[in-house]
């Protein structure tokens, strides 16, 4: 029990389904204790499909990447000559790096863009047709690398170089994240893989920072108002979820902000996926003619959709407040919020009023939003999103509303639509 108090969960203990349900953990009703520190307990739920966590090793480091950059954390492991297992998680993305005496020996990822096939394509070891052929032959019970060699597409030596390139890419990709959590378990841990490399961590950190800057430059290029994205001439048979989301969003050519919104992906993920899709011919990134009316219409549709979604959510959030306090009182409070936000630079809200009916006119908002310059979708999301945040705050703290949790959960689908 590691000296902990009686009745506390020990490392490696699996919680019962009943306990998982009571704690609202999800994870298919499974959870296991993988770390303890005083009053803090770290659980692994059944949601993960990544690397197995080494619960029999000591969890010695946890960190929020927003405060502790990954470059600093990996440098610490490298400089101290530590052996162990580093797990990085951001939303549903998961990457793991294995260290031996401070050097990288293996890495794996849950992302389709980090798979061996995609890496071999980027490295120029396979072309698109060869990748399609190997993916068609591949079965989950076999190793993709073995399939590639059996088909005669690569020699074992070339595959070895490809696996090294894949591991290096996964490590380098970590530095493009500005959020997420890392956990480090200390001790020699063999990866669940026959490959064990020895890669210089210091070099990978330097290259990762350079790759991060390269991705940021690509994102800046994509965010150029004149840049548009459209479907390319090819389509992969085994496209990833992110690739399919982007292709589904490209029913007509899109600006980068509109594509992110329609695909429901953050800019970093969209940009990384587009890099691979450009290479495979699935998308075309180009500069539009200044007077292209089709492109402007596509962008306008995204702006209208963003306004309508926020207006609908605001209407639902206002309704219970109006029922309790009356439309006039609620409208007056919201007018103060809008005026203050407009003074801080939200041009969409300038001289806008809820009025005695405590309601916004969506058509007026659309008209205003379409006349904005720059990233109009982002401007709408920031301006109307601020009103949404205020309304949720008022609902949570209203003296005549004991608990608004059920109400907020009921309108969660509306909020989820805004993130798509």
Q: Could you give the CA distance from residue 384 to residue 391 in angstroms, rounded to a whole number?
A: 11
Query: pLDDT band at 179, cuts 50/70/90?
Result: confident
Question: Which CATH number goes with the domain that contains 239?
Answer: 1.10.10
Whether residues 78 and 186 share a domain: the answer is yes
- Where is pLDDT greater, at 294 or 192? 192
Whether residues 21 and 118 share a domain: the answer is no
pLDDT tens per residue across span 63-120: 888 888 889 999 999 999 999 999 999 888 899 999 999 999 999 999 888 999 989 9
Whether residues 273 and 351 share a domain: the answer is no
Share above pLDDT 90 across residues of the chain, in percent, rounded to a whole number? 37
Query: pLDDT band at 236, cuts 50/70/90?
Result: confident
Classify residue 221: in a domain, yes or no. no
Alpha helices in 138-266 (DSSP H): 144-150, 156-173, 201-222, 241-249, 256-263
Q: How far is CA 256 from CA 185, 268, 284, 286, in A?
A: 39, 11, 12, 11
Query: pLDDT band at 384, cuts 50/70/90?
Result: very high
Whether residues 34 and 157 share a domain: the answer is no
pLDDT at 5: 42
Q: Could you give the CA distance from residue 326 to residue 196 in angstroms, rounded to a whole number?
A: 68
b/e map of 152-167 (b: 16 or more CB within 10 Å)?
A: ebbeeebbeebbbbbb
Whether residues 70 and 199 share a domain: the answer is yes
- Parent domain of 279: 228-287
Of 168, 185, 214, which residue constitutes the final position of a domain?
Answer: 214
CA-based nearest residue to 116, from 73, 186, 166: 166
Classify residue 223: in a domain, yes or no. no
pLDDT at 4: 42
Whether residues 280 and 310 share a domain: the answer is no
As a whole number of angstroms, the longest Cα–Cα distance in the chain is: 76
pLDDT tens per residue across span 75-87: 999 999 999 999 9
Number of folded domains that form the chain: 4
């Amino acid at each position: 029990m590691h000296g902990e108090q009686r009745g506390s969960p020990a490392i490696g203990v699996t919680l019962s389904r009943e306990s998982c349900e009571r704690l609202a953990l999800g994870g298919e009703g499974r959870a296991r204790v993988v770390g303890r520190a005083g009053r803090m307990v770290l659980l692994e739920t059944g949601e993960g499909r990544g690397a197995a966590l080494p619960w029999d090793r000591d969890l010695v480091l946890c960190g929020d990447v927003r405060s502790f950059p990954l470059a600093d954390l990996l440098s610490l492991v490298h400089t101290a000559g530590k052996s162990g297992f580093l797990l990085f998680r951001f939303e549903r993305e998961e990457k793991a790096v294995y260290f031996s005496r401070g050097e990288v020996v293996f890495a794996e990822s849950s992302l389709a863009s980090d798979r061996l096939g995609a890496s071999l394509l980027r490295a120029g070891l396979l072309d698109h047709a060869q990748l399609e052929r190997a993916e068609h032959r591949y079965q989950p019970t076999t190793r993709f690398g073995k399939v590639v060699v059996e088909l005669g597409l690569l020699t074992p030596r070339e595959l070895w170089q490809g696996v090294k390139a894949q591991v290096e890419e996964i490590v380098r990709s970590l530095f493009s994240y500005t959020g997420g959590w890392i956990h480090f378990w200390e001790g020699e841990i063999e990866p669940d893989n026959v490959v064990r490399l020895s890669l210089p961590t210091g070099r990978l950190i330097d290259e990762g920072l350079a790759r991060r800057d390269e991705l940021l430059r690509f994102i800046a290029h994509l965010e150029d108002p004149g840049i548009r994205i459209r479907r390319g001439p090819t389509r992969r048979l085994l496209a990833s979820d992110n690739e399919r989301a982007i292709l589904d969003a490209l029913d007509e050519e899109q600006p980068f902000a509109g594509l992110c919104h329609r695909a429901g992906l953050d800019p970093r993920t969209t940009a990384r996926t587009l890099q691979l899709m450009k290479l495979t011919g699935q998308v075309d990134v180009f500069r539009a003619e200044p007077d292209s009316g089709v492109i402007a219409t596509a962008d306008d549709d995204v702006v209208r959709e963003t306004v309508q979604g926020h207006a609908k959510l605001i209407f639902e959030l206002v309704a219970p407040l109006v029922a309790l306090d009356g439309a006039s009182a609620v409208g007056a409070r919201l007018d103060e919020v809008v005026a203050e936000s407009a003074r801080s630079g939200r041009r969409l809200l300038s001289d806008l009023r809820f009025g005695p009916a405590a309601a916004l006119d969506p058509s007026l908002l659309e008209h205003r939003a379409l006349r904005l310059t720059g990233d109009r979708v982002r401007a709408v999301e920031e301006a109307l999103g601020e009103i949404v945040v205020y309304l949720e705050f008022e609902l949570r703290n209203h003296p005549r509303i004991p608990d608004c949790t059920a109400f907020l959960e009921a309108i969660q689908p509306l909020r989820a639509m805004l993130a798509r």
